[in-house]
Chain A
Amino acid sequence: MAAPGVFKDRTYSDPNPLPSSVPAVDELGTTSAPLKSASFFIGQYCKPVNDDFMLCKQENQDPAHCLKEGRKVTRCAAELISKLRENCLKEFDAHWQCLENNNQYFHACRKVEKELNSCVFTKLNLTKSIPGTPEGMQQIHEKKNPLFGPLTK
Protein backbone atom coordinates (compact mmCIF):
# COMPACT_ATOMS: atom_id res chain seq x y z
CA MET A 1 0.00 0.00 0.00
CA ALA A 2 1.25 3.45 -0.81
CA ALA A 3 2.02 5.77 2.04
CA PRO A 4 -0.75 8.24 2.86
CA GLY A 5 -0.60 11.36 0.78
CA VAL A 6 0.89 9.73 -2.31
CA PHE A 7 -0.93 10.50 -5.52
CA LYS A 8 0.21 8.30 -8.31
CA ASP A 9 -1.39 10.28 -11.12
CA ARG A 10 1.35 12.90 -10.94
CA THR A 11 5.12 12.65 -11.27
CA TYR A 12 7.12 13.28 -8.14
CA SER A 13 8.91 16.36 -9.35
CA ASP A 14 10.03 19.52 -7.62
CA PRO A 15 11.84 22.13 -9.71
CA ASN A 16 13.41 23.91 -6.73
CA PRO A 17 17.20 23.66 -6.78
CA LEU A 18 19.43 22.67 -3.88
CA PRO A 19 20.10 25.57 -1.48
CA SER A 20 23.24 27.46 -2.46
CA SER A 21 24.75 26.60 0.93
CA VAL A 22 25.26 23.06 -0.33
CA PRO A 23 28.23 22.71 -2.71
CA ALA A 24 27.15 21.40 -6.09
CA VAL A 25 28.20 17.97 -7.24
CA ASP A 26 27.44 16.46 -10.61
CA GLU A 27 25.23 13.42 -10.28
CA LEU A 28 26.71 10.29 -11.73
CA GLY A 29 23.99 9.72 -14.32
CA THR A 30 25.27 6.23 -15.05
CA THR A 31 22.57 3.67 -15.75
CA SER A 32 22.20 0.33 -14.04
CA ALA A 33 24.20 -1.91 -16.35
CA PRO A 34 27.44 0.15 -16.33
CA LEU A 35 27.05 0.58 -12.58
CA LYS A 36 26.69 -3.15 -12.12
CA SER A 37 29.66 -3.75 -14.36
CA ALA A 38 31.78 -1.33 -12.32
CA SER A 39 30.31 -2.21 -8.93
CA PHE A 40 33.15 -4.36 -7.60
CA PHE A 41 35.73 -1.80 -8.69
CA ILE A 42 33.73 1.03 -7.13
CA GLY A 43 33.49 -1.04 -3.96
CA GLN A 44 37.23 -1.51 -3.83
CA TYR A 45 38.34 1.88 -5.09
CA CYS A 46 35.94 3.92 -2.95
CA LYS A 47 35.91 1.74 0.16
CA PRO A 48 37.17 4.42 2.61
CA VAL A 49 34.67 7.09 1.56
CA ASN A 50 31.84 4.58 1.28
CA ASP A 51 32.54 3.21 4.75
CA ASP A 52 32.70 6.74 6.08
CA PHE A 53 29.33 7.55 4.54
CA MET A 54 27.65 4.41 5.83
CA LEU A 55 28.99 4.98 9.35
CA CYS A 56 27.66 8.52 9.17
CA LYS A 57 24.26 7.17 8.08
CA GLN A 58 24.33 4.74 10.97
CA GLU A 59 24.86 7.68 13.27
CA ASN A 60 21.87 9.59 11.92
CA GLN A 61 19.34 8.75 9.21
CA ASP A 62 18.64 12.41 8.43
CA PRO A 63 19.55 13.15 4.78
CA ALA A 64 20.94 16.53 5.87
CA HIS A 65 23.40 14.88 8.23
CA CYS A 66 25.66 13.15 5.69
CA LEU A 67 25.59 15.47 2.68
CA LYS A 68 29.34 16.11 2.83
CA GLU A 69 30.24 12.43 2.98
CA GLY A 70 27.69 11.73 0.26
CA ARG A 71 29.36 14.21 -2.08
CA LYS A 72 32.68 12.47 -1.54
CA VAL A 73 31.05 9.15 -2.38
CA THR A 74 29.61 10.49 -5.62
CA ARG A 75 32.86 12.21 -6.63
CA CYS A 76 34.83 9.06 -5.98
CA ALA A 77 32.47 6.94 -8.07
CA ALA A 78 32.53 9.50 -10.88
CA GLU A 79 36.32 9.50 -10.76
CA LEU A 80 36.45 5.73 -11.02
CA ILE A 81 33.98 5.62 -13.90
CA SER A 82 35.98 8.20 -15.85
CA LYS A 83 39.20 6.29 -15.14
CA LEU A 84 37.56 3.11 -16.36
CA ARG A 85 36.47 4.88 -19.52
CA GLU A 86 39.92 6.36 -20.09
CA ASN A 87 41.78 3.09 -19.67
CA CYS A 88 39.44 0.25 -20.58
CA LEU A 89 36.67 1.81 -22.62
CA LYS A 90 36.38 -1.07 -25.10
CA GLU A 91 36.23 -3.82 -22.46
CA PHE A 92 33.96 -1.81 -20.18
CA ASP A 93 31.51 -1.08 -22.99
CA ALA A 94 31.54 -4.71 -24.11
CA HIS A 95 30.82 -5.93 -20.59
CA TRP A 96 28.01 -3.55 -19.68
CA GLN A 97 26.37 -4.00 -23.06
CA CYS A 98 26.52 -7.76 -22.55
CA LEU A 99 24.89 -7.31 -19.13
CA GLU A 100 22.26 -5.11 -20.70
CA ASN A 101 21.45 -7.82 -23.24
CA ASN A 102 21.49 -10.72 -20.78
CA ASN A 103 19.11 -9.72 -18.03
CA GLN A 104 22.09 -8.29 -16.11
CA TYR A 105 23.29 -11.78 -15.21
CA PHE A 106 26.99 -11.80 -14.37
CA HIS A 107 27.21 -15.49 -15.26
CA ALA A 108 26.08 -14.78 -18.82
CA CYS A 109 29.01 -12.43 -19.50
CA ARG A 110 32.08 -14.18 -18.12
CA LYS A 111 34.07 -13.98 -21.31
CA VAL A 112 33.94 -10.21 -21.65
CA GLU A 113 34.19 -9.84 -17.91
CA LYS A 114 37.49 -11.68 -17.90
CA GLU A 115 38.88 -9.20 -20.41
CA LEU A 116 37.59 -6.25 -18.40
CA ASN A 117 39.02 -7.64 -15.16
CA SER A 118 42.46 -8.21 -16.64
CA CYS A 119 42.46 -4.74 -18.23
CA VAL A 120 41.42 -3.09 -14.97
CA PHE A 121 44.02 -5.09 -13.07
CA THR A 122 46.86 -4.04 -15.36
CA LYS A 123 45.81 -0.41 -15.78
CA LEU A 124 44.19 0.48 -12.45
CA ASN A 125 45.47 -2.31 -10.20
CA LEU A 126 42.00 -3.22 -8.98
CA THR A 127 40.85 -6.82 -8.63
CA LYS A 128 37.33 -8.12 -8.38
CA SER A 129 36.92 -10.28 -5.31
CA ILE A 130 33.64 -11.41 -3.80
CA PRO A 131 33.66 -11.33 0.00
CA GLY A 132 32.41 -14.37 1.88
CA THR A 133 33.43 -17.03 -0.61
CA PRO A 134 33.92 -20.27 1.38
CA GLU A 135 37.44 -21.24 2.40
CA GLY A 136 39.28 -23.11 -0.36
CA MET A 137 36.65 -22.42 -3.00
CA GLN A 138 37.39 -20.62 -6.22
CA GLN A 139 35.79 -17.24 -6.75
CA ILE A 140 32.74 -17.85 -8.88
CA HIS A 141 33.83 -15.48 -11.65
CA GLU A 142 37.12 -17.37 -12.01
CA LYS A 143 35.61 -20.87 -12.19
CA LYS A 144 36.91 -22.86 -15.16
CA ASN A 145 33.81 -24.74 -16.34
CA PRO A 146 30.80 -23.13 -14.73
CA LEU A 147 27.45 -24.88 -14.92
CA PHE A 148 25.67 -21.61 -15.53
CA GLY A 149 26.87 -19.95 -18.69
CA PRO A 150 25.56 -17.63 -21.38
CA LEU A 151 21.82 -17.68 -21.93
CA THR A 152 22.24 -18.30 -25.65
CA LYS A 153 24.96 -20.20 -27.44
Chain B
Amino acid sequence: MSGQSSAGPTYTKAAHGFTQDMPPKGGYANVPYKRNLPVRGVSGAVIMGTTALICSYGFYKMGQANIEKRELEREKKWSRIWLLPLLQAEMDRDIYRREQAALAREKIIMSDVPGWEAGKSVYNTQRYVPKQIVVM
Protein backbone atom coordinates (compact mmCIF):
# COMPACT_ATOMS: atom_id res chain seq x y z
CA MET B 1 0.00 0.00 0.00
CA SER B 2 2.07 2.83 -1.25
CA GLY B 3 -0.62 5.42 -0.61
CA GLN B 4 -0.63 5.26 3.17
CA SER B 5 0.64 8.35 4.86
CA SER B 6 3.09 8.16 7.70
CA ALA B 7 0.36 9.28 10.07
CA GLY B 8 -1.21 5.84 9.76
CA PRO B 9 -4.80 4.99 9.04
CA THR B 10 -7.61 6.70 10.86
CA TYR B 11 -10.40 4.67 12.36
CA THR B 12 -13.98 5.67 13.02
CA LYS B 13 -16.19 3.74 15.42
CA ALA B 14 -19.41 2.74 13.64
CA ALA B 15 -22.77 2.02 15.26
CA HIS B 16 -22.45 -1.72 14.82
CA GLY B 17 -19.16 -1.83 16.69
CA PHE B 18 -16.90 -2.53 13.69
CA THR B 19 -14.15 -0.24 12.72
CA GLN B 20 -14.41 1.04 9.15
CA ASP B 21 -11.16 1.00 7.21
CA MET B 22 -10.80 4.43 5.74
CA PRO B 23 -8.31 6.07 3.32
CA PRO B 24 -5.45 7.90 4.94
CA LYS B 25 -5.83 11.50 5.81
CA GLY B 26 -5.53 13.59 2.73
CA GLY B 27 -6.34 10.59 0.48
CA TYR B 28 -4.15 8.15 -1.35
CA ALA B 29 -1.29 9.44 -3.44
CA ASN B 30 -1.70 9.36 -7.22
CA VAL B 31 -1.04 6.04 -8.88
CA PRO B 32 1.73 6.67 -11.49
CA TYR B 33 -0.07 5.07 -14.42
CA LYS B 34 1.30 7.46 -17.10
CA ARG B 35 4.24 6.35 -19.25
CA ASN B 36 7.49 7.75 -17.99
CA LEU B 37 9.90 7.98 -20.97
CA PRO B 38 12.44 10.73 -20.43
CA VAL B 39 14.15 12.12 -23.57
CA ARG B 40 17.45 10.36 -23.96
CA GLY B 41 19.94 11.67 -26.53
CA VAL B 42 19.20 13.23 -29.90
CA SER B 43 15.97 12.70 -31.78
CA GLY B 44 15.44 10.09 -34.44
CA ALA B 45 15.26 12.72 -37.14
CA VAL B 46 18.72 13.96 -36.22
CA ILE B 47 20.15 10.43 -36.28
CA MET B 48 18.52 9.71 -39.61
CA GLY B 49 19.69 13.03 -40.99
CA THR B 50 23.29 12.47 -39.87
CA THR B 51 23.28 8.97 -41.33
CA ALA B 52 21.95 10.31 -44.61
CA LEU B 53 24.64 13.00 -44.62
CA ILE B 54 27.46 10.56 -43.97
CA CYS B 55 26.10 8.21 -46.61
CA SER B 56 25.80 10.95 -49.20
CA TYR B 57 29.40 11.98 -48.56
CA GLY B 58 30.47 8.37 -48.99
CA PHE B 59 28.51 7.98 -52.22
CA TYR B 60 29.95 11.24 -53.54
CA LYS B 61 33.46 10.01 -52.83
CA MET B 62 32.67 6.70 -54.44
CA GLY B 63 31.40 8.48 -57.54
CA GLN B 64 34.57 10.52 -57.73
CA ALA B 65 36.65 7.39 -57.30
CA ASN B 66 34.71 5.64 -60.06
CA ILE B 67 35.39 8.51 -62.43
CA GLU B 68 39.08 8.42 -61.53
CA LYS B 69 39.22 4.65 -61.92
CA ARG B 70 37.68 4.95 -65.36
CA GLU B 71 40.37 7.43 -66.35
CA LEU B 72 43.12 5.21 -64.96
CA GLU B 73 41.71 2.34 -66.97
CA ARG B 74 41.76 4.48 -70.11
CA GLU B 75 45.35 5.44 -69.41
CA LYS B 76 46.32 1.77 -69.09
CA LYS B 77 44.48 0.83 -72.27
CA TRP B 78 46.11 3.59 -74.29
CA SER B 79 49.55 2.70 -73.04
CA ARG B 80 48.91 -0.81 -74.36
CA ILE B 81 47.46 0.47 -77.62
CA TRP B 82 50.57 2.54 -78.26
CA LEU B 83 52.75 -0.52 -77.75
CA LEU B 84 50.67 -2.83 -79.91
CA PRO B 85 52.30 -2.17 -83.32
CA LEU B 86 55.73 -2.66 -81.83
CA LEU B 87 54.89 -6.00 -80.23
CA GLN B 88 52.94 -7.13 -83.28
CA ALA B 89 55.88 -6.34 -85.59
CA GLU B 90 58.25 -8.36 -83.43
CA MET B 91 55.81 -11.28 -83.30
CA ASP B 92 55.27 -11.15 -87.07
CA ARG B 93 58.98 -11.43 -87.76
CA ASP B 94 59.19 -14.44 -85.49
CA ILE B 95 56.18 -16.15 -87.05
CA TYR B 96 57.53 -15.45 -90.53
CA ARG B 97 60.90 -16.95 -89.59
CA ARG B 98 59.27 -20.11 -88.25
CA GLU B 99 56.98 -20.44 -91.25
CA GLN B 100 59.87 -20.14 -93.69
CA ALA B 101 61.80 -22.78 -91.75
CA ALA B 102 58.76 -25.07 -91.72
CA LEU B 103 58.35 -24.58 -95.47
CA ALA B 104 62.00 -25.49 -96.11
CA ARG B 105 61.62 -28.59 -93.96
CA GLU B 106 58.47 -29.59 -95.78
CA LYS B 107 60.19 -29.20 -99.17
CA ILE B 108 62.98 -31.55 -98.11
CA ILE B 109 60.72 -34.11 -96.46
CA MET B 110 58.20 -34.27 -99.31
CA SER B 111 60.70 -33.96 -102.17
CA ASP B 112 60.12 -37.55 -103.38
CA VAL B 113 56.33 -37.32 -103.37
CA PRO B 114 55.19 -36.45 -106.89
CA GLY B 115 52.66 -33.65 -107.22
CA TRP B 116 53.14 -32.36 -103.67
CA GLU B 117 52.96 -28.60 -103.35
CA ALA B 118 54.92 -27.53 -100.31
CA GLY B 119 53.33 -24.76 -98.30
CA LYS B 120 49.96 -25.05 -100.01
CA SER B 121 47.10 -24.00 -97.77
CA VAL B 122 44.49 -26.59 -96.89
CA TYR B 123 41.88 -23.84 -97.02
CA ASN B 124 40.25 -22.62 -100.19
CA THR B 125 40.82 -18.96 -99.46
CA GLN B 126 43.25 -16.16 -100.21
CA ARG B 127 43.00 -14.95 -96.62
CA TYR B 128 45.93 -15.71 -94.30
CA VAL B 129 45.09 -18.49 -91.83
CA PRO B 130 47.42 -18.91 -88.83
CA LYS B 131 49.08 -22.30 -88.67
CA GLN B 132 47.31 -24.81 -86.45
CA ILE B 133 50.26 -27.19 -86.23
CA VAL B 134 53.79 -26.27 -85.25
CA VAL B 135 56.63 -28.76 -85.70
CA MET B 136 59.24 -28.55 -82.99
Contacts and interface: CB of A to CB of B under 8 A. Distances in A.
B25 interface: no
Given A74-B89, A133-B71, A148-B69, A17 B64 contact: no
Given A39-B83, A140-B71, A5 B78 contact: no
Contact of B92 (A4, A5, A10, A67): A67
Interface in A119-153: 130-133, 137, 140-141, 143, 146-148
Contacts of B74: 130, 132-133, 140
Contacts of A14: 97-98, 101, 136
Interface residues of A, number: 57
A3 interface: yes
B68 A143 contact: yes
A107 B72 contact: yes
Contact of A42 (B64, B86, B90, B136): B86
A50 interface: yes
Given A36-B79, A43-B78, A61-B127, A19 B132 contact: no
A144 to B, nearest CB: 12
A147 B64 contact: yes
A77 interface: yes
The residue among B92, B100, B101, B104 with the most chain A CB atoms within 10 A of its own CB is B92
B100 A16 contact: yes
B96 A63 contact: yes
A31 interface: no
Interface of A: 3-7, 10-14, 16-19, 22, 25, 27-28, 35-36, 39-40, 42-43, 46, 49-50, 53-54, 57, 60-67, 69-71, 73-74, 77, 106-107, 130-133, 137, 140-141, 143, 146-148
Given A12-B136, A40-B78, 19 more contacts: A5-B132, A11-B136, A16-B97, A18-B96, A19-B97, A22-B96, A35-B86, A43-B82, A46-B86, A50-B85, A61-B127, A63-B93, A63-B96, A65-B128, A67-B92, A74-B86, A74-B90, A106-B75, A106-B76
Nearest first, the 5 A-B pairs at minimum CB distance are A43-B82, A70-B89, A16-B101, A5-B133, A62-B128
5 contacts: A11-B136, A16-B97, A19-B97, A67-B96, A148-B69
